Amino acid sequence: MRFRGKSIRRKIVALLLVPLVALTSVWAFATVITGREADRLLDASAVMDELGDPVRETVLALQEERRQALVYLADPRRSDSLVALRSGRRVTDRAVAALRSGADGERVRDGIDGDARERLDELLRELDGLEKVRAGVVDNTVERRDAYDAYNALVDPCHDFLTAVRVLDDVRPDREGRALVGLSRAREYLSREDALMAAAFTAGRMTGAELRAFSDRVAERELAYRVHLAMLPAGDRERYEEFWAGTDGRTLRAAEDAIIAAGAEGAVAASHPERWRGVSRTALDELRRMDAEAGDRHRRRVEPEATSVLVRAGVVGILGFVAVLASVVVSLRVGRGLVRDLDALRREAGEAAGVRLPNVMRRLAAGERIDVEAEVPRSKHGGDEIGQVGQALDTLRRAAVEAAVRQAEMRRGVSEVFVNLARRSQVLLHRQLTLLDAMERRTEDPEELADLFRLDHLTTRMRRHAEGLVILSGAAPSRQWRRPVALMDVVRAAVSEVEDYERIEVRGMPPLAVDGAAVADLTHLVAELLENATVFSPPHTGVQVLGERVPNGFALEIHDRGLGMSPEALLEANLRLAETPDFQLSDTDRLGLFVVSRLARRQGVRVSLQASPYGGTTAVVLLPGALLTDTADTAGAAGTTAGARDAVEAGKNADGGGGAGGLARTSAGLPLRGGARPAIGRRSGGSVEPEAPGGDPEGAGAEAPSGGHTGSRAPAGPGAEPAADRAAERDRVRGAVEARDRMASLQLGLRRGRRRSADSPNGTGVGGPNGGNGSNDAAPRSTYSRGTSDDRITGHGRPRRPGDG
């Protein structure tokens, strides 16, 4: 029997069921054995009550009828013999009727074994032939010898039946019972002697056969008494011995010896009929009385043993039942206790592993402080093995929580180190941008100005990467705006933070503004997606950015013309974007996905990737309506739009009225960037300037407390500056921004003009092959070794990843 894989309840039930079944089997066996003995005793007692006396009365009646029949056959002419015969028959009929009545009961037949039942059937069959024997006697058609044998054949089955009935299995009582039946059979031999002598006295002679039969009966009687008296207790044996040693016994033996000694001729003359009659009748009556008394004493001796058998059966049954019941109760209590303790231990372990520990892990991941004593209280367990297992589980659970707390503290410390380093990098980058602004204002050499613009652009990208490290560390970026910013400006700012910004084409955007609190996150998010689109598409292809209103907000789509992604890679990327998993140090090649996912979750934005109609990949950014407002309802929105137009017009004037083919354009074909800084942060010309939470009441932008680079790139350090210095610094920065924008337009126009002059036949650039449309002379594109479309996720075959810049 295999219990592997079964529940502990079943195993305990099986464990307790085996001894319980064994005990029940032993109890049932003992009960059956003792019960069978008691049942046989009761049945035997009932049989003896029903048939014992009728059988003995039948024997006495047949003995008397046999004597009368032989006397009648010796002299049929005597009328008194026939009367005595008929009187004896009536007594025999009553005894036989009582015997048959008792033998017909079901209880009698069910209470005796097979041997006794066969003996009873044989007795009843012999009694069925009694009428035939009687008819032969009355008709005088049988000899005395035949009638004598016939009646003997009727008496012998009675003794055989009494011998077959067993009351007890005990040897001693059974031997005594058999001895009493043997004494009754010895008395039967004496009755046969009396019948032979009565017939001989009536006939006046005894044949030789009758004398031999008489002598055999005497010998059989002596043998029977000698054998069976030895089986009786000493008291009963002494009574019989006293009888045979007394006057009646000696007189009977003397008469028998005289008859045998006289032979067949002198047997009748050897004893007087009346004298023989008196001696034999006295002996028969005395022996019958002694047999009855011996039987009574035997029953009294057997009664205690029979009672002990009944008591033993009752005790075995009751005690066995009590033992089985107690075993069941104890087994149930012990089994239920074990199951209850194990079930409680299982529930506690399951709750700890499935609820408490995961809850602690989630809280630790969320940055909460955990009290180990409160989260893992010490439980009270018993001193048994199950209690020790519970204590071990408590210790293990406490150790797991403590290890998780230490791990969380270590991660928190590492994150704080990364945030600190990133903040320091942001401060340095902020200062570097301020210095670049100053250098851009001072220089007049177009080539140097172009290099400064490239350096400015790289510094801006470095600022974004430092901000990504802050985001991955769980902190918030430092750039903040208090007022809404036009959606177009947010997209332009994101484009300016991408290396291959010249390849990006921005279609027209509706007049919407983004809530100031979400500007920095959305700018970073869109920049990461644009970087991803440019890196994983061929360098000669463009990236389109377009958007439209939808019922749930605004949908911004970014299309690239790369190799696309497999369905499995798209599914994995979308899962990461939707579920926002915890950042793992082993996922360093998926930084862009983590940054986008965290920014999207923070602002309630939904980002998904799907197959692009151009064969590449489309990133869909769904901005919720809560982050958007109409530009007509926001302060400074008109200025923002005007500033954008001024920047575009400056580029157009410098370009001679034609847009460069490689410039980023709006849907109307207007260039968005020619190496200049993003529109976010400009205030001159009516553009919106970013504001920090601590800005002036007039809405001037201010740097966030963390010292990160804001839209105006006003420098800030660890220490606070006086208000007057901050105001002067803001004016200086605004002037630098305006100068940079003008210089950018001028530089772009000069470079394109030189290119057209070089390409025209007369060197003037007018009427050349390009028709006035110069090539793109913006910052040169970088050429990357690009892998397959799935390298967006796996990172093979490319030098950088999405979000890596």
Burial 432-447 (b: 16+ CB within 10 A, else e): bbbebbebbbeeeebe
Alpha carbon distance 705, 87 (integer Å): 145
Which of 679, 659, 654, 655 is closest to 669 using CA atoms? 659
The C-alpha atoms of residue 803 and residue 525 are separated, in whole angstroms, by 9
Q: Report in angstroms the alpha-carbon separations of 251 from 187, 258, 300.
A: 16, 11, 33
790: three-class secondary structure by DSSP: coil
In 3D space, the residue among 499, 534, 480, 524 whose CA is nearest the CA of residue 701 turns out to be: 480
Which phi and psi (to 5°) does residue 777 adopt?
-110, 20
Per residue, what are the HEC states of 608-659?
EEEECCCCCEEEEEEEEHHHEEEHHHCCCHHHHHHHHHHHHHHHHHHHCCCC
Per residue in 154-170, pLDDT (tens digit) is 999 999 988 887 766 66
What pLDDT sits at residue 776?
35
pLDDT band at 36 (very low <50, low <70, confident <90, very high): low
Q: Is the pLDDT of residue 656 over 80?
A: no
Give the pLDDT score at 522.
Answer: 92
pLDDT, averaged across the chain: 75
Q: pLDDT band for 46, please (50, 70, 90 cuts).
A: low
Query: How far, in Å, are 60, 347, 569 from residue 156 at the CA level?
Result: 12, 82, 110
Answer yes or no: are the C-beta atoms of 770 and 495 closer than 8 Å.
Answer: no
Looking at the domain that runs over 422-794, which CATH code has it been given?
Answer: 3.30.565.10
pLDDT band for position 582 (50/70/90)? low
Q: Determine the average pLDDT of the residues in 536-554.
A: 92
CB atoms within 10 A of CB 630: 12
Helix (H, G, I), strand (E, B) or coil at 561: coil
Give the pLDDT score at 337.
Answer: 82
- At residue 636, the pLDDT reads 44
pTM of this prediction? 0.47
User: Which of 346, 352, 364 lies closest to 409, judged by CA?
Assistant: 364
Q: Is pLDDT of 389 > 90?
A: no
Amino acid at 312: R
Residue 332 in this model has a pLDDT that exceeds 50: yes
Q: How far is CA 10 from CA 315, 327, 329, 337, 341, in A?
A: 34, 18, 17, 14, 15
Do the Cβ atoms of 471 and 583 come closer than 8 Å? no
**Percentage of the chain lying above the pLDDT 70 cut:** 72
Cross-strand pairs, 53: none
Query: Cβ(389)–Cβ(345) under 8 Å?
Result: yes
Domain boundaries, the chain: 8-325, 422-794
What's the rounded mean pLDDT across residues 550-559? 93
Label residues 560-590 b or e (16+ Cβ within 10 Å = b). bbbbbbeeebbebbeebbeebeebeeeeebb
**Long-range contacts of the stretch 537-541 (C-beta < 8 A, 24+):** 537/561, 537/562, 537/616, 537/786, 538/562, 538/786, 539/500, 539/503, 539/781, 539/783, 539/784, 541/503
Residues 156, 157, 160, 166: what is their CA dihedral angle, to the nearest 10 degrees? -150
CA distance 611 to 616: 6
Mean pLDDT of 58-71: 93
β pairing state of 628-630 and 617-624 = unpaired
- Which is more confident, 492 or 375? 492
pLDDT band with cut points at 50, 70 and 90 for residue 499: confident
**Average pLDDT of the residues in 305-328:** 78
What is the mean pLDDT of the segment spanning 669-684? 37
> Hunting for tokens 């010796």 — which residue is that?
74
Q: Is the pLDDT of residue 792 over 50?
A: no
Structure-token pair, residue 781: 């594109």
Alpha-carbon torsion angle 588, 589, 595, 601, nearest 10: -100
Residue 354, pLDDT > 80, answer yes
| Res 37: pLDDT | 66
Q: Record the tokens describing residue 209, joined without a space.
A: 């056969």
Contact of 53 with 181, CB cutoff 8 Å:
no
